[in-house]
A and B are shown apart, each in its own frame.
Chain A
Amino acid sequence: MELLGNIGLGLGVALTLVNLVYCFIGVLVGTLVGVLPGLGPLATMAMLLPLTFNLTPVTALIMLAGIYYGAQYGGSTTAILVNLPGESSSVVTCLDGYQMARQGRAGPALAVAALASFFAGTFATLVIAAFAPPLAEVALNFGPAAYFSLMVLGLVSAVVLAAGSLLKAFCMILLGILLGLIGTDVNSGMARFTFNISALTDGIGFVIVAMGVFGFTEVILNLEVKGKREIFAKKVKNLWLTKSEFKAAAPAVLRGTLLGSMLGILPGGGALLSSFAAYTLEKRISKNQAQFGKGAIEGVAAPEAANNAGAQTSFIPLLTLGIPSNPVMALMIGAMMIHNIQPGPQIVINQPQLFWGMIASMWIGNLMLVIFNLPLIGMWVRLLSVPYRLLFPSILLFCGIGIYSLSYNTFDIHIAALFGLLGYIFVKLECEPAPLMLGFILGPMLEEYLRRALLLSRGDPLTFFTNPISAGMLIASAILLVIVILPAVRKKREDVFAE
């Protein structure tokens, strides 16, 4: 019954006019971003961060969260209609969704995507409400050694679940940690790696790196490929499902939701991984395997449910442990810090208004998406015809203004440009930037907890193994690594990402 009371408290916060309005703006902008390819939720949230400075913390976080899950909705719309994934997490939706559209079944495909997302969003919201508070209680008892090992586990699983070479992903994490150390060392007050540049004494902002690597680099890469877009189904009609379609989709939605909710909690998980895993699972257990890739409705329903569920539950490690599971969550930490909120288990306990308000707003946001999105599809499709040559200078400009407004220093813009160049080199050398971002945000925390743990143990590294929680996590990390290095699993992992 405590749960109901808490949800009531949350609804009270989320249903105020201001929060409703910003929630709406968030999901609307999110959908827009999801529809437009070449502009991810991370760069958008970073660009819009300055708009949230004047808001109360809860309103700011509600809007930013709305952008994230709104983008999952929008991404599927373009995947189905144009065979162009607006978001990386809707890549698999293209496979069957676009085929359905070609067969004149764009309406049912869009409807099932929206309904699956809504169902998954609702379920995932309940998962957060049920599991986050007890987890936070547990996390309150974590000492520095346990926290350090927890972060190691998080980083290891982020590497294991990411696509591409393991070794390079590890290197990217380490590089990210090093970049995160730039600035004043909190313990000694000594400026490290600042090259006597005064603007670097506070370190490089996460947002600045994110804009460079995800904003500028994306634009440059998009300009390299000349793609043409063919918009399908100019008129989308019949936005409803037949009975047989509903029957086929419902169990797939259920499986996708469960799988996505679980994978979202894992560090390194989130929307992208969930959608891939759900599609693979669905294809394996389906009775009509031959239909997959040719317009199977299960092939749209399961990944759409999974990516939305995963996007939502990835808030759990953020809200209970203060540890981001993916770069978007790392940006949420950045946003919290701007508003002087220390991410971690204290949020659930000391700021129930913030915590429950955010959770309730997620459900309301999902409801808004399902109500507004289907009627607005015509508008989204028209937006797709905006040529990229008008779009990319605008993206660059908003990134530039966003960066400048963080601390009114043009030096930050040049740093971001440098990271744009670095990001380009990373992509060309097949090094994933996501682990770099995780390392960047976790680096200073890792150092701090390592220092504290070893201070308490007087320099004895065995403390990480004598503390049961810490030992458990390190063992889990080791097991994960061993499993992934085994040749059989490695092959399978490559297969999953190849699909």
Chain B
Amino acid sequence: MIKILSFKDFFAGLMFVAFGGTAVWLAQVYPFGSAGRMGPAYFPTLVGGLLTILGAIVSLRGLAVPGQKPGSFHCKPLILVLAGVVLFGFALERLGLMIAIFTLVVFSSLGGTEFRIRGVLILAAVLALGSFLVFIYGLGLQIPTWPFSF
């Protein structure tokens, strides 16, 4: 029975192997060439191969050398902050900056330690006004502002 002694090393190593292996695999559809005339696959295969090997060593070390337990994952801020950003991206061109700002601020604030709806809405309104004045009016960035303005 193999015991994982260092979760951090073991999983970090696996991650590197996955990235390196995928890179080598994906690169094989491109021409390889030779050292004197490198094709597009040459360098990625080299680097990806090295990463796979080193990643495997890191992983094996995780089995042999004791380390700390993995840090605890806090899913709430992780998911809500990233959800806020992703939704901001979706809303920006479809619904305009103003609505996107409210989406971002509300969602990401839900991931914070305390959530007061009034404070959050006021913050969103202030940021929306400020962004309008600075980025759209002041700097003239071509950002869609209102719904269906395109």
Residue numbers of A with Cβ under 8 A of B are 50-51, 165, 167-168, 170-171, 174-175, 177-178, 181, 185, 187-188, 190, 192-193, 216, 219-220, 223-224, 226, 388-390, 392-394, 396-397, 399-401, 404-405, 408, 410-411, 413-414, 416-417, 420-421, 424-425, 427-431, 443, 446-447, 450-451, 454-455, 457-461
CA distance A427 to B50 in the complex (A): 22
Q: Which residues of B contact A397 (CB under 8 A)?
A: 88, 101, 104-105, 127, 131
**Candidates B27, B43, B131; contact of A401 at CB < 8 Å:** B131
Cα separation A390 to B38 with both chains bound (whole Å): 52
Known: A392-B108, A404-B143, A455-B37. 14 other contacts (CB 8 A): A167-B57, A168-B9, A171-B55, A178-B51, A181-B47, A192-B27, A219-B81, A393-B124, A405-B135, A405-B141, A411-B89, A414-B86, A420-B81, A454-B36
Contact with A along B80-98 (1 / 0, CB 8 A): 0110111011101100010
Is the CB–CB distance between B47 and A396 below 8 Å?
Answer: no
Q: Judge whether A400 and B104 touch: CB under 8 Å.
A: yes
- Taking the closest CB of chain A, its distance from the CB of B54, in whole angstroms, is 5
Q: How far is the CA of A174 from the CA of B54 in the complex (A)?
A: 10
Contacts A171-B51, A454-B35 given: A414-B104 contact, CB under 8 Å? no
B149 lies within 8 A of chain A by Cβ: no
Interface of B is mostly: helix
12 residue pairs bridging A and B, Cβ less than 8 Å apart: A171-B55, A175-B51, A178-B48, A178-B51, A219-B77, A220-B111, A393-B104, A394-B127, A400-B100, A404-B143, A429-B70, A460-B36
A413 near B88 (CB under 8 angstroms)? yes
Complex partner residue of B92 from A188, A223, A413, CB under 8 angstroms? A413
**A429 CA / B90 CA spacing, docked (Å):** 30
- Complex Cα gap A23–B24 (Å): 46
Q: Which residues of B contact A220 (CB under 8 A)?
A: 77-78, 81-82, 111
**Interface contact B131-A178, CB-CB below 8 Å:** no
Among residues of A, the one whose C-beta sits closest to the C-beta of B31 is A188
Q: Does B40 contact A (CB under 8 A)?
A: yes
Partner of B30, one of A190, A224, A413, A454: A190
Given contacts A168-B12, A226-B113, A401-B143, contact A393 B89 (CB under 8 A): no
A400 partner, pick from B13, B89, B119, B120, beta carbons under 8 A: B89
Across-interface contacts of B39 in A (CB, < 8 A): 188
Which residue from chain A places its CB closest to the CB of B113 in the assembled complex?
Answer: A226
Chain B, residue nearest A457 (CB): B36
User: Given A168-B58, A171-B16, A405-B143 in contact, is the A396-B86 Cβ separation under 8 Å?
Assistant: no
Given the interface pairs A193-B23, A397-B104, A421-B82, the reply to whether A410 lies near B90 with Cβ below 8 Å is yes
Q: Chain B residue with minimal CB distance to A408?
A: B142
B35 CB to nearest chain A CB (Å): 4
Contact A400 to B47, CB < 8 A, known contacts A174-B54, A187-B40: no
Task: Looking at the assembled complex, report how far the CB atom of B27 sits from the nearest CB atom of chain A, in whole angstroms.
Answer: 7
Question: Which A residues are in CB contact (< 8 Å) with B11?
Answer: 429
Is B74 located at the chain interface by the 8 A CB criterion?
Answer: yes
Complex interface: chain B residues within 8 A of A447 (CB) = 43
Per-residue CB proximity of B108-128 to A under 8 Å, as 1/0? Answer: 110111100001100110010
Chain A residues with CB below 8 A from B61, complex form: 167
B64 contacts A by Cβ under 8 Å: no
B20 to A: closest C-beta gap in Å: 7
Are B35 and A459 closer than 8 Å at their CB atoms? yes
> Which residue from chain A places its CB closest to the CB of B83 in the assembled complex?
A417
Partner of A420, one of B85, B88, B90: B85
Q: Is the CB of A417 within 8 A of B47?
A: no
Is B99's CB within 8 Å of the partner chain A?
A: no
Q: Are B20 and A417 in contact (CB under 8 A)?
A: no
B82/A451 in contact, CB under 8 A? no
Give A177 Cβ to nearest chain B Cβ, in Å: 5
Instruction: Report Cα–Cα, A495/B77, bound state, in Å.
Output: 33
Contact B40 A190 (CB under 8 A): yes
Set of chain B residues within 8 Å of A393, measured between Cβ atoms: 84, 104-105, 108-109, 120, 123-124, 127
Among A167, A454, A461, max chain B CB count under 10 A is at A167
User: Which of B20, B104, B120 has a CB less than 8 Å from the CB of A396?
Assistant: B104
> B15 and A429: CB pair below 8 A?
yes
Report yes or no: A430 in contact with B131, Cβ–Cβ below 8 A. Answer: no
Return chain B residues, CB-CB under 8 Å to A458: 36
A167-B40 in contact given A389-B113, A430-B12 (Cβ < 8 Å): no
